[in-house]
Structure 1
Amino acid sequence: MRSIALVALVLSLPTLAAAESRPWIERADAKPKVAIPSAAPLVREVEPAVLSIYVEAKGIDMDDPRIELFRGFGMRIPDFSRKGEGTGFIIHPDGYALTNNHVVEHASKIQVRVGAGKELVSAVVVGTDPRTDVALIKLDGGRKDWPALPLGDSDALQVGDFVIAVGNPFGLSQSVSMGIVSAKSRRDIAPSGRRGLYDFIQTDASINPGNSGGPLVNLAGEVVGINAAVNAAGQGLGFAIPINMAKRIVPELKDKGHAERAYIGVKVQDVRPGVAKALGLPGTEGALVAQVVDGSPGFKAGLKPGDVITRFNNKAVEDSSDLPLLAADAGVGATVALELVRDGERRSAKVKLAAMPDEGGGARSGPSAPPDQAGQSTGKLGIKIDTLDDELRARLDVPAKAKGAVIVQLDEQGAAAEAGLQRGDVVTEVNGQKIGDAAALVKALDKIPSGKLIKLLVLREGATAFVALIKP
């Protein structure tokens, strides 16, 4: 026994000596002092249904540096094969999965890895909706037992709720980040530079390139969002499409391959403080009608430029971004009740919604500003104008048939600038009267007494805008 004890003492001497020489301390009991729940069990449930998506696409990527080589020699630009990566997640055991439209757009070949698996599985696009950046894909193979994630209720999310984002940022598969819901209803974010029907959840959970299409889940393991947008200019800013928006269109994507949406047929803008004051509105709430599309539901219902739509089926319209979403959700063929203000009077209108037409063409190049030139003065408004001619039409990218007066000079401190007019605006109407040239605009403005309302319809960068001000 003494020999055993001696051996044990000899063996422990190096450990004791090492402990005495260490310039630090260690706890004998390493149990946490504060009980903070771990997200690991939740992550283990979610990860098996998360997809790493690998896409091959054919088409012209205008950012490809090889394009300049072909342009320089006057050669036809070929369709280069492009590869990309993204994320998705399975929503049904049959293999249906959600991702972003921009992840699989123009794809000629799609392969996925499921969870931590190494096998590549082929997938096909079932349906896409560019307006919400949502795509439905299906895994090949005929399996009926794919791991799937339950979809939650994004409307129930509150600012401050914890959420977890799972994806493949920068190709780093099965990466997990955690944060909170920072804000809801962010509508001025355009993933891939494309405008659409967006109503994003903002989160500080890290969402980086490659996360697109991945799930944003709550602490119950339910998907509440589809990771979509990255703000490269800011840290801690990530955006996700509310899952309720996707749930509304997935059945159509599955059955038709696309989503059909209702629309009113009006172009709207926010109500500026100056416009609200000029129109006698109590505040800036509502959507200001800038243009009514001929033959549209709004046209048939008698809507006019200058109308301020304040309620839609008894729901408040806070700003211009509310109206397209409310109309899209109402459904094609639905008859809706609008409340509006026209010329200071409250009115109502019934509109039967129609299907939103396809929008052709890509983004337009921005027009250039008109040159500084003398122009005719319009008194105290602080602008100088000139008749819209062929040279100005070309410079401003204005339709050939358009007529009006162009603002060529603008006093930044004047009444017109304060109301929102800009240099290069083409004034086409004053208080409902068509304007053919600069002289007609001067004449129309001269007839309006000081202190009275001026309602202007203008062409600006290919769109119609409405501006109202009180004549000084």
Structure 2
Amino acid sequence: MRNGRKRSSRTTGPIVCLATMVHLAVASFSVAAEAEATPDKIEKSLPTVTEAAPDLLPVFRQPAPVTIDDLRAIEDRVVELTERVKECTVSLQIGRAQGTGVIVSPEGYILTAGHVSGKPGRFATVILPNGDRIPGRTLGINDTLDAGLVKITTSRTDWPHAPMGDSEGVDVGDWCLVLGHPGGYDEVRGVVARLGRVVFSSNRIMQTDCELVGGDSGGPVFDMNGQVIGINSRIQRDLNHNFHTPVKAFHDGWDRLKESEQFSVHSGALLGVSGENEDGGIRLTRVYPDEPAARAGLEVGDVLITFQARRVRSLDELIERVGEELPGSRVTVGVIRDGESLEFRVRLGVRWD
């Protein structure tokens, strides 16, 4: 049912943004990092996939397209892939929030951003690509990594769905396709697709050069075989500050998300120090060169006493506090040096483990 709205007779289709293709054809990419591996064991309750992914076209294994035929092959795959995955890319309305999600199981489990789904147990309106509105409910949320799960609450068990990929196969320079409903569901426009490449990937955060806008939050990042490798998370005007939650966050937390648990994990933020506990704080025994603490001016022998204006009494407590902040965040660290109290502003890095 569609709340009494009359459906337009105009045929809708996805908008595919390929304007960056010419730029990508002449761009060169240096592999600055390697993708992290996922754990060998994945929970048995994860949604299963029965269809094997097609072989990746040779053009997507090259550093950049070289010929007109390469560009045509990319365009053909993007159009084919978008037609295939748009059926499982949905718009979400949850309270005042609106965003995007992707169905990943025939039972109707939907991956989205945690800031879209919000707390467990909320009513959700799921808007299908054809405009039909169906009920859903929010399940669990990983607050740290911005991973949320929603479940369609109808009795249907054959929903079109996309397979969840494996972070082990994601490398810097890989091509990807982002889908979303920017600005909310639009019956005439349909879903919007953007082509790009992975520029950073770790176990806890992924970055691409795909342009994102409001309403894309929670939308899927697909590899060029149609597997979900990430979910749109933080969106800014500057492309350098658009980030995605890797699908690994959903693999690792699947059972907790299904059980409607609200939980936190270490964000992967990095300070870059080692130390020993002593009365009143942590004496720094090593400040790693070229890491955030060293760049901010912390030194071996400093006694770290506060982090974000909160007392820190042990190294374990410091690790926990750092993990509550996101990589790239600016934090305040208080130390005692030669009897003098000093404060430093540190921009946190990211751990690779």
TM-score with structure 2 setting the length: 0.58
- The match for 2:183 among 161, 164, 170 is 170
Residue pairs, 1:234-383, within 5 angstroms = 234-235=238-239, 238-255=242-259, 257-259=261-263, 261=265, 269=271, 287-289=272-274, 304-308=282-286, 319=291
- The match for 2:125 among 111, 119, 135 is 111
- The match for 1:212 among 207, 212, 217 is 217
Q: Identify if the C-alpha distance between structure 1 residues 117 and 180 changes in structure 2 by more than 3 Å, giving closer, same or farther.
A: same
- The match for 2:69 among 34, 49, 60 is 34
Separation of aligned partners in 1, 2:344 and 2:207: 31
Separation of aligned partners in 1, 2:100 and 2:283: 43
Matched, 1:161 2:146: no
Q: How many residues align?
A: 245
Separation of aligned partners in 2, 1:319 and 1:428: 17
Matched, 1:50 2:89: yes
- The match for 2:136 among 116, 123, 127 is 123
Separation of aligned partners in 2, 1:220 and 1:146: 19
Measured after TM superposition, the shift of residue 147 of structure 1 is 1.5
* 1:93–1:145 CA contact under 8 A, matched in 2: yes
Measured after TM superposition, the shift of residue 33 of structure 1 is 7.2
Structure 1 counterpart of 2:199:
182
* 1:204–1:237 CA contact under 8 A, matched in 2: no
Separation of aligned partners in 2, 1:356 and 1:249: 19
CA RMSD of aligned residues (A): 4.2
Kindly indicate whether structure 1 or structure 2 has the higher relative contact order, using CA contacts under 8 Å at least 6 residues apart: 2
Measured after TM superposition, the shift of residue 154 of structure 1 is 2.5
- The match for 1:135 among 148, 151, 155 is 148
Unaligned regions of 5+ residues in structure 1, if any?
1-31, 57-82, 186-197, 270-286, 293-297, 311-316, 322-340, 344-350, 361-365, 367-424, 436-440, 442-456, 466-472
Superposed CA offset, 1:223-247 (max 9, x none): 1111112221x25763211111331
Q: Give the AA of the match of 2:196.
A: G
Measured after TM superposition, the shift of residue 258 of structure 1 is 2.8
Separation of aligned partners in 1, 2:151 and 2:292: 36
Percent of aligned positions with the same letter in both sequences?
22
* 1:95–1:138 CA contact under 8 A, matched in 2: yes
* 1:260–1:356 CA contact under 8 A, matched in 2: no
Unaligned regions of 5+ residues in structure 2, if any?
1-66, 294-298, 302-314, 325-329, 349-353
Separation of aligned partners in 1, 2:165 and 2:173: 17
TM-score with structure 1 setting the length: 0.44
Superposed CA offset, 1:354-404 (max 9, x none): x969x99xxxxx9xxxxxxxxxxxxxxxxxxxxxxxxxxxxxxxxxxxxxx
Separation of aligned partners in 1, 2:253 and 2:334: 40
Q: Identify if the C-alpha distance between structure 1 residues 258 and 108 changes in structure 2 by more than 3 Å, giving closer, same or farther.
A: closer
What SS does the corresponding residue of 1:306 show, helix, strand or coil? strand
Separation of aligned partners in 2, 1:125 and 1:33: 46
Q: Identify if the C-alpha distance between structure 1 residues 93 and 356 changes in structure 2 by more than 3 Å, giving closer, same or farther.
A: farther
* 2:142–2:264 CA contact under 8 A, matched in 1: no
Q: Which structure is larger by alpha-carbon Rg, 1 or 2? A: 1
